Structure 1
Amino acid sequence: MENKLRSKAEQRADEHSCKLLLNCYIRELGPERADYMQLNPDTLTYSITFPTSGVRVMGLLSYYSAMGEHEYLSMNSNGQTVHYRDLVRWISYEMIGDGSPDNVQREAVEEEHDIGTKAKQVTDRLTDFMQKVENSAANLTMYIEQASGFGVQDYTTSEQSVLYGHPFHPFPKNSKGFTVQDVQRYSPELRTSFQLCYIAVRQDVYAAEWVEHADKIDLKQLLASQEWPVSKGKMGLYELLPFIHGSMHTFCIWMRCSPISVKRSCCCWALQARWPTRPLLYVQCMFQPGTAALSCR
């Protein structure tokens, strides 16, 4: 049963990834490549040609959307079922050229790059695109597998049940840069939970903005009864940055311990969260080059 479930989850993730890729391609390039794209809302048939690869994808629609969010009943090329890796390759060639020496040389001349540099750029872009789609499909497979045992009880679990992501994004579940363990620990689709924490940031490199007319929260006063890892006198030199995601907490610890970063990172350190925290809604943190400042909005 487990193997059957995984096969079904992989198939659904593959089909959904194909739908996203094709819909994004049609939406973005449809106006300028209308001759290569035919979708008939009456017969629910479609045909998309990728001229660079000499390939035509065709089949039946289960639903035609005036907004472009089409649903596909079948997707074939030369009598074979199309998979998302096929679409990634064909779309990539249409977007950046076929990678042939003549094409690379022409683009290198136009962009005033040497051929070797241009060829590497083409390869890097192809690889990055493929990796992000692969990562998104792999994550989606995992989410579909786990979702079979979940239910929807309230608003929070309904938000965590948005498995498929944005309908017009080629890789909505991409988390490139996270390890598999990170995904399993932090993905809301897996109904995970983890402790948020606070970061103490030195006052001279801390900047904060509050929404107009909003009541500013004094975090130090709010948390005055809690146990602090340093003296409260020393804490007077710092401001608190609230509700840091667990992955950011880990990164801050790494920065503080890194020999090449210790001088810059000594302006902030993590406080072990021992108090209740509220769900994180939105925090945007930006490093300001040249100032060693951390700005939070």
Structure 2
Amino acid sequence: MNPTPAPDEPKADGLSSTPVRGRDQGQDPAHVPRSVARVTVPRQPASSLDEQVATAMDPPAGLPAEDHLDHPDPSRAADAATVENLLRCWVRENNLPRPGGSVLRIPLDASGNALLVPVRYWSATGWHRFGMPLLESAPQDAPAADAVTVAALLGRESGRHQGADLVGRVANSVAHTADFITDRRRHPDAAQGADLFLTAEQSLLLGHPLHPTPKSREGLSEAEARLYSPELRGSFPLHWMAVDRSVLATDSAWTEQGRVVPADHLTTRLLGDLPLPEHTVPLPLHPWQARELRHRPAVTELLDAGLLHDLGPHGAPWQPTSSVRTVHCSGAPAMLKLSLGVRITNSRRENLRKELHRGVEVHRLLRSGLAKEWQAAHPAFDIVRDPAWLAVDTPDGEAVSGLDVMLRHNPFAPGDDAVCIAALTAPRPYPGRAGVYSRLAEIISRLAAHTGRPTGAVAAEWFLRYLDHVVRPVLWLDGTAGIALEAHQQNTLVVLDAHGWPVGGRYRDNQGYYFRESHRPSLQRRLPGIGSASDTFVSDEVTDERFAYYLGINNVFGLIGAFGAQDLADERVLIAAFRQFLSNASELGSPLPGQLLEAPTLRCKANLLTRLHGLDELVGPVDTQSVYVTITNPLRH
């Protein structure tokens, strides 16, 4: 592969010119930012953060030494992790209160039974830790209920007709998770690669802790999973098609040295020395997708007409990132977001044409001057840009689904420590160390040892720096421009310095933007015609609901829950810190701080119910793609 020269676009756009490690790289790890001094915990007067943490924390409850995620049988560990996910989903989606004792009883009226669930840790923000459940009516020596049994019981209890589908996907997710744990336990050293970004992307072995089937991938054989799974450190050459220019659909705002580079010029560089038929351009595809597409009538017709040529696999290996379908090659200036018709979690992951338009549109919007404003306020945060794409139409001008690619800037050098929050908090097998152990736990433990400060105080400071470097810039964008980001934990990356402190952040996803309807006039002044092809304007009411979920509940509450469940901090301390941060962030103009501080309840995405309703989250209007439920707001509880 002949690598493309690094684009100079980021320098022109301002934000991306910030070094990925941030300007505080050399900061003293013992330094406490100003915002830490402002944190107060109700009814716990103290003169310093360390004292606040010490006085606010109860004596540690002490999780049992034997964690079922450490079970020597990977299948048992995977099953236990999935059971916990199912139970966490059920507790959240039914807004169940904390039990009075150490056992949670979940009535199963439809089955005339109940689940008795040992509570190992109860989280104010939803990241509970549970032991393996027993059926109340089962004999005393009966084994615990496994994931498939729990899924079948909860599906029946919900009364939804997709219960059988849920059971199948749960079994699929458990099987994949067991393979991932087996491989990582056998080859732990292989996980520590020289490319820190890629290492983080390949570390989510268990997946979303509040999803019933986080590792379900219907359509992949065992051999294909080995090649295409980031958790197994898969790699593969791209599969190439040559597309006749008469049926090519494309757009590009990718620039080098001040000039726009067409998307097909970029893919030609990636293709290298493979010759092309006359009047065609190269289109990279995921190998699985290339095989599947040959069975689609529209693609067959293009091949038969000589408008599409199958060039086969070619070039250097690419590695899947945490989304499975976005691929990365160390040193390449672009990542590729490929269509992949595999049903991953809830959706078939094929690019929609409006999403391709959206990525380029957001890049142009930021270049219109918005990026410079944002850089002035928050120089260490940026959006990972999606400035170019290629796709195929029929001769009649109809979009051919699944035959496309989005070209994404790759701003990360191999030594840049940029990690998505999902990977940071994910439990992982760690040879020789019992209990849940994550990258977050490793960082906090190392910082506590280095600084000589209590673990809880270090965790609180880390959390506050994260709010300042990652959450505050996202609130600024909403308040200033009326753009809310779908900043859930997998879309949000924190940039860490050499010590592990947060010094910056990045957002990625050409799908996840909400342009507020109330800001339509100002956004159209910034970029005339905005939203016409991308379908990105959303009512403020829906935007408020989704922004509160993705940034508030999924991202920040999820991070707080990880700190608590992994015995790194008292959740009450971090909730108090977040409450005070939001009070000070109201000046940014986003309605989210006030909403989170004042609302007694919040609307929350229900991943289990979404699955039981049989919804594909990439299909249909944005306000009906997922099921939302009402939960108690932990900031007010």
Q: TM-score, normalised by structure 2?
A: 0.36
**Aligned residue for 1:138?**
175
Gaps of 5+ in 1: 31-36, 98-121
The letter of the residue matching 2:74 is A
Gaps of 5+ in 2: 1-69, 319-327, 329-334, 340-350, 353-391, 407-637
**Aligned residue for 1:248?**
289
User: 2:271 & 2:183 partners in 1: Cα distance?
Assistant: 41
1:228 maps onto 2:266 in alignment: no
Residue 198 and residue 22 in structure 1: after superposition, are their counterparts in 2 closer, same or farther (change >3 A)? same
- Preserved CA contact (<8 Å) 1:136 1:171: yes
Q: CA deviation at 1:38?
A: 4.6
- Between 1 and 2, higher relative CO (CA 8 Å, sep ≥ 6) is seen in 2
Tell me which of 270, 283, 286 is aligned to 2:338: 283
The letter of the residue matching 1:143 is F
Q: Secondary structure at the match of 2:243?
A: strand
User: 1:60 & 1:6 partners in 2: Cα distance?
Assistant: 17
After superposition, give the CA deviation of every residue in 1:205-251 in whole Å (9 maximum; x if it has no partner).
Answer: 32223358785352366369613153xxx1x2x23323x22212322
User: 2:338 & 2:299 partners in 1: Cα distance?
Assistant: 23
- Preserved CA contact (<8 Å) 1:38 1:47: no
Q: CA deviation at 1:21?
A: 0.9
1:262 maps onto 2:309 in alignment: no
Q: Secondary structure at the match of 1:209?
A: strand
Q: CA deviation at 1:195?
A: 0.8
Residue 205 and residue 28 in structure 1: after superposition, are their counterparts in 2 closer, same or farther (change >3 A)? farther
After superposition, give the CA deviation of every residue in 1:134-153 in whole Å (9 maximum; x if it has no partner).
Answer: 10011111111111122331
After superposition, give the CA deviation of every residue in 1:7-39 in whole Å (9 maximum; x if it has no partner).
Answer: 711111111111111111222222xxxxxx452
Tell me which of 223, 237, 246 is aligned to 1:204: 246
Residue 67 and residue 177 in structure 1: after superposition, are their counterparts in 2 closer, same or farther (change >3 A)? same
Q: CA deviation at 1:128?
A: 1.7
Tell me which of 108, 129, 133 is aligned to 1:75: 133
- Preserved CA contact (<8 Å) 1:44 1:64: no
1:99-248 matched pairs, under 5 angstroms: 122=161, 125-148=162-185, 149-151=187-189, 152-154=191-193, 155=196, 156-210=198-252, 215-216=260-261, 217=263, 218-219=265-266, 222=269, 226-228=273-275, 230=277, 234=278, 236=279, 238-242=280-284, 244-248=285-289
Residue 138 and residue 201 in structure 1: after superposition, are their counterparts in 2 closer, same or farther (change >3 A)? same
**Aligned residue for 2:151?**
88
**Aligned residue for 1:49?**
107
Q: Secondary structure at the match of 1:62?
A: strand
User: 2:270 & 2:178 partners in 1: Cα distance?
Assistant: 41
Residue 53 and residue 213 in structure 1: after superposition, are their counterparts in 2 closer, same or farther (change >3 A)? farther
Residue 70 and residue 209 in structure 1: after superposition, are their counterparts in 2 closer, same or farther (change >3 A)? farther
Residue 225 and residue 38 in structure 1: after superposition, are their counterparts in 2 closer, same or farther (change >3 A)? closer
Q: TM-score, normalised by structure 1?
A: 0.72
Q: Secondary structure at the match of 1:199?
A: strand
The letter of the residue matching 1:180 is E
After superposition, give the CA deviation of every residue in 1:117-144 in whole Å (9 maximum; x if it has no partner).
Answer: xxxxx3xx33321111110011111111
**Aligned residue for 1:293?**
399
- Preserved CA contact (<8 Å) 1:186 1:194: yes
- Preserved CA contact (<8 Å) 2:272 2:315: no
User: 1:26 & 1:185 partners in 2: Cα distance?
Assistant: 36
Q: Secondary structure at the match of 2:310?
A: strand
1:271 maps onto 2:311 in alignment: yes
Residue 92 and residue 153 in structure 1: after superposition, are their counterparts in 2 closer, same or farther (change >3 A)? same
**Aligned residue for 1:106?**
none
Residue 76 and residue 211 in structure 1: after superposition, are their counterparts in 2 closer, same or farther (change >3 A)? farther
Q: CA deviation at 1:171?
A: 0.5
Q: Secondary structure at the match of 1:91?
A: helix
Q: CA deviation at 1:292?
A: 4.1
User: 1:50 & 1:211 partners in 2: Cα distance?
Assistant: 55
Residue 11 and residue 272 in structure 1: after superposition, are their counterparts in 2 closer, same or farther (change >3 A)? same
After superposing the two structures, state which structure 1 stretch, 285-294 or 172-181, moved more.
285-294
The letter of the residue matching 2:286 is H
- Preserved CA contact (<8 Å) 1:209 1:296: no
The letter of the residue matching 2:247 is V
After superposition, give the CA deviation of every residue in 1:84-117 in whole Å (9 maximum; x if it has no partner).
Answer: 12211111112226xxxxxxxxxxxxxxxxxxxx
1:39 maps onto 2:80 in alignment: no
User: 1:268 & 1:60 partners in 2: Cα distance?
Assistant: 58
Residue 194 and residue 276 in structure 1: after superposition, are their counterparts in 2 closer, same or farther (change >3 A)? closer
Residue 7 and residue 163 in structure 1: after superposition, are their counterparts in 2 closer, same or farther (change >3 A)? same
Q: CA deviation at 1:259?
A: 8.4
